A = this chain, B = another copy of it.
């Protein structure tokens, strides 16, 4: 039986600080409708796809911060996404902020999370971001803050894989893509497609010498990981000018060969559909044949605590 289907990166343009859920969900639904019309079974939305990327600000108001988190998923405002998945047969990956019940204040309210929803509108699995980039406290010396370790708890679910869409899927979030360990953890569990949403500045005002390398540093680790683990990658950006920051686009589909086979061209809401064949992963999984060729007894340092 063929394990080939159309998947899509569903890039989002900017979401401004005051945007309500209803307007954002309407945009997600429009992309899901386009996905259905494009014969897609699975769409990948960005990290924090329901709100602006608020960790670029230190926000004192607990009510505003709480407003970026979901108390439940689905909730009243997000239920239409799950209904659409079921009615249209379009599953999705959705990045959002997951509130931990009982937590109060403006910091560490919960996790930077992604869920995987199948074509019946059912949550198949959840991942909580392991690699939180940036600073745990406000640094007045920086032009651009990145306060994920202030707002979020470090992910505590490891790197799970899920049976869905006729194959085995893994979920990652943004900065996870720069760490080969993230991909290998999924590869060792047989992941055939990895979905990843991200919010990444296109420029680094505190280190402008890096600006010309941003696209390369986005794609390179994912391409290498796709090849080294024999997996498809579908990666979706929150792109464009958001909250005074230019966010990178370059949403993409990467084949198990490591080739970028689809790439978004704009910085707005954009569906990037591509037919993925999960059986195309087998050649690379055979080539690297972990059981024969990996030497875990030589890798001890990889899991040792840092001094």
**What residues of chain A have their CB less than 8 Å away from a CB belonging to chain B?**
130-133, 154-155, 158-159, 178-181, 183-185, 188-189, 207, 213, 216-217, 220-221, 223-225, 227-228, 257-259, 283, 288, 290-291, 293-307
Contact = CB atoms under 8 A, between A and B. Distances in A.
A218 to B, nearest CB: 11
Contacts of A180: 180, 183-184, 224-225, 228
Contacts of A155: 298
A71 to B, nearest CB: 26
A295 B131 contact: yes
Chain A interface helix/strand/loop/mixed: helix
28 contacts: A131-B293, A178-B228, A181-B184, A181-B294, A181-B298, A181-B299, A184-B301, A185-B298, A185-B302, A188-B302, A189-B301, A207-B283, A213-B258, A216-B259, A217-B227, A217-B258, A220-B224, A221-B224, A221-B227, A221-B228, A223-B224, A224-B224, A224-B225, A294-B306, A296-B302, A296-B303, A296-B305, A299-B302
Contact of A303 (B133, B224, B257, B299): B299
Nearest to A295: B130
A202 B47 CA distance: 40
Given A217-B227, A295-B154, A301 B179 contact: no
A288 B178 contact: yes
Contacts of A295: 130-131, 154, 181
A225 B223 CA distance: 12
Nearest to A135: B292
A207 B252 CA distance: 27
